[in-house]
A and B are shown apart, each in its own frame.
Chain A
């Protein structure tokens, strides 16, 4: 069953397109930096601009891919097929979740590795020192946050039984609602965005809103609630 999921990832254009678009945007940002040229010589902007673009795009790309893993079956109405190949719904959810995590890790690591290489080249072009260790930490931090949002998107697509609904709901939460949640006194710091940022900050060594242990617990709680609710709905309800 797991082999079938890997084959879907290889055969369908969505994962490839997401990777290509992500890298294209990072490369475009790099070209713009080189063509326009940052102000002042030896500017950090040579590598910081593509880094920033990669951090934003990789989060969106991870959400697209996370929602796609189950959303593919809903949008192409192939869930009946998948559920007769693997009639145990619990196992089907687990296999899909594992596939999502592996796909997201491959995507994040691939994009970040290429972005780091590009940043090093740009730093050389701009004749600035490239702080590899610091940029690697930034990449890991952004990658982990993207991974968490991707897994969350997986859960929402499963819960809503729709690729589009899962994707849009996660984007709205990540890009808007979560910021609002963070403004709520006392509990706002436990929002998924805040907790994920705290996990990222622990990697870079920046000051975090939550301690790493608490942040991990908050993230786990968000993921367990959403994926658990989606899985419960998927396991107990009839398939159309």
Chain B
């Protein structure tokens, strides 16, 4: 499954990129693009190649073949080095100077970008990630969730154009998850593009505009989330005692339907609109109390897509 999109707005592109470790291809002919000012989710099972993909785009690892372009600069060129400085990243576990305070960690990061120690951006980013009150504490005393927040602060403080976040909600409490989601969702409005990977598909579904799904280093789906999570049927509720009549009417019309103990009937209607089903039921003397589209969630789509290729060579 893939959707063609204009390439002019792409800030990052992978073209037939392969990265091997020994005889294993961690990334295998991977190609995808990330649109400017979008929030893109990079999904895949453990070992699918997500972290390797992120390391490749940040220049931390070099591909064996294929081309990576970041802000129009090809990997391996001097311009690519400059392009990497326009990113902010959090890859795998938070990388922090344990014996320095939260504020000192951010000051060090800022110094690398020519931002002074008294720049208001430092206080602003501490406020954004909710660590203002702990700015003088050493990072070694922080919980995993606080380290995640710190790592995010380091990724954002220099106001990069592309933010790369690997499992950003790991260790966050429910309130932190919501804050992180809102923060990531706000990045495009601030002129930033985000590439986010997570195992929490429900959260990704609520956070991203586009998704890239990889399995064993290969692309299996790419595009706007709305086009990947498609409507696949209708869920309806009928008054008590009308269930059998509704099922019979749907069956007679060639629609596969299943009744559930909670009173719902799920009908696989394909492309037929809800109004057609409503009329069909009304003709049979059944008037539904509720009728809504049945949307596949990202989890089921993901499991479908990643499982369908198992056993392939």
Is A4 part of the binding interface, using a Cβ–Cβ cutoff of 8 Å? Answer: yes
Is A1 within 8 A of B112, CB to CB? yes
Is A41 part of the binding interface, using a Cβ–Cβ cutoff of 8 Å? Answer: no
Is B60 within 8 A of A84, CB to CB? yes
Cα distance, A191 to B11, chains bound together (Å): 53
Is B238 part of the binding interface, using a Cβ–Cβ cutoff of 8 Å? Answer: no
Is A186 part of the binding interface, using a Cβ–Cβ cutoff of 8 Å? Answer: no
Is A133 part of the binding interface, using a Cβ–Cβ cutoff of 8 Å? Answer: no
Is B296 part of the binding interface, using a Cβ–Cβ cutoff of 8 Å? Answer: no
Cα distance, A7 to B112, chains bound together (Å): 10
Closest CB in chain A relative to B126 CB, distance in Å:
16
Whether A88 contacts B81 in the complex (CB less than 8 A), given A7-B104, A7-B107, comes out as yes
Is B98 part of the binding interface, using a Cβ–Cβ cutoff of 8 Å? Answer: yes
Q: Would you call the interface of chain B mostly helix, strand, loop, or mixed?
A: loop
Is B109 part of the binding interface, using a Cβ–Cβ cutoff of 8 Å? Answer: yes
Contact among A12, A79, A81, A238 for B109, CB-based, below 8 A? A81
Whether A78 contacts B96 in the complex (CB less than 8 A), given A4-B111, A11-B107, A84-B84, comes out as yes
Contact among A1, A77, A238 for B60, CB-based, below 8 A? A238
Is B93 part of the binding interface, using a Cβ–Cβ cutoff of 8 Å? Answer: yes
Which residues 11-62 in B have Cβ within 8 Å of A in the complex? 55, 58-62
Contact among A8, A80, A84, A238 for B97, CB-based, below 8 A? A8
Closest CB in chain A relative to B232 CB, distance in Å:
41
Q: How many residues of B contact A (CB 8 A)?
A: 31
Q: In the complex, what residues of B have CB within 8 A of residue A82's CB?
A: 112
Q: In the complex, what residues of A have CB within 8 A of residue B85's CB?
A: 84-85, 87
Contact among B59, B62, B98, B111 for A83, CB-based, below 8 A? B59
Which residues 275-295 in B have Cβ within 8 Å of A in the complex? none
- Mask: chain A, 140-162; 1 = CB below 8 Å from B; 0 = not: 00000000000000000000000
Which residues 70-116 in B have Cβ within 8 Å of A in the complex? 80-81, 84-85, 87, 89, 91, 93, 95-101, 104, 107-109, 111-114
Closest CB in chain A relative to B59 CB, distance in Å:
5
Q: In the complex, what residues of B have CB within 8 A of residue A88's CB?
A: 81
Is A80 within 8 A of B60, CB to CB? yes
Closest CB in chain A relative to B148 CB, distance in Å:
14
Contact among A13, A80, A86, A238 for B112, CB-based, below 8 A? A86
Cα distance, A183 to B113, chains bound together (Å): 50
Cα distance, A54 to B154, chains bound together (Å): 40
Q: In the complex, what residues of B have CB within 8 A of residue A4's CB?
A: 108-109, 111-112
Q: In the complex, what residues of A have CB within 8 A of residue B100's CB?
A: 8, 11-12
Q: In the complex, what residues of A have CB within 8 A of residue B96's CB?
A: 76, 78
Contact among A7, A80, A238 for B62, CB-based, below 8 A? A238
Is A239 within 8 A of B61, CB to CB? yes
Cα distance, A6 to B112, chains bound together (Å): 10
Which of B61, B100, B109, B112 is the most central at the interface, judged by chain A CB atoms within 10 Å of its CB? Answer: B112
Which residues 201-239 in A have Cβ within 8 Å of B in the complex? 238-239
- Mask: chain A, 1-27; 1 = CB below 8 Å from B; 0 = not: 101101110011110000000000000
Is A239 within 8 A of B55, CB to CB? yes
Which residues 26-45 in A have Cβ within 8 Å of B in the complex? none
Closest CB in chain B relative to A15 CB, distance in Å:
11
Whether A238 contacts B81 in the complex (CB less than 8 A), given A13-B99, A76-B96, A77-B95, comes out as no
Is A81 within 8 A of B59, CB to CB? no
Is B97 within 8 A of A87, CB to CB? no
Which of B84, B99, B111, B154 is the most central at the interface, judged by chain A CB atoms within 10 Å of its CB? Answer: B111
Closest CB in chain A relative to B141 CB, distance in Å:
14
Contact among B80, B91, B98, B113 for A85, CB-based, below 8 A? B113
Closest CB in chain A relative to B72 CB, distance in Å:
16
Closest CB in chain A relative to B49 CB, distance in Å:
14
Is A238 within 8 A of B55, CB to CB? yes
Which of B101, B108, B111 is the most central at the interface, judged by chain A CB atoms within 10 Å of its CB? Answer: B108
- Name 19 interchain pairs, CB-CB below 8 A, sorted by A: A1-B112, A8-B108, A11-B97, A11-B101, A13-B99, A14-B99, A76-B96, A78-B95, A83-B60, A84-B60, A85-B85, A85-B109, A86-B112, A87-B58, A87-B59, A87-B80, A88-B81, A239-B55, A239-B60
The 7 closest A-B pairs by CB, nearest first: A85-B112, A238-B61, A4-B111, A87-B84, A4-B112, A3-B111, A11-B104
Chain B residues engaging chain A, CB cutoff 8 angstroms: 55, 58-62, 80-81, 84-85, 87, 89, 91, 93, 95-101, 104, 107-109, 111-114, 117, 154
Q: A4-B108, A7-B111, A12-B99 are in contact. List 6 more A-B contacts (CB 8 A).
A: A7-B108, A77-B93, A79-B95, A81-B109, A87-B80, A238-B60
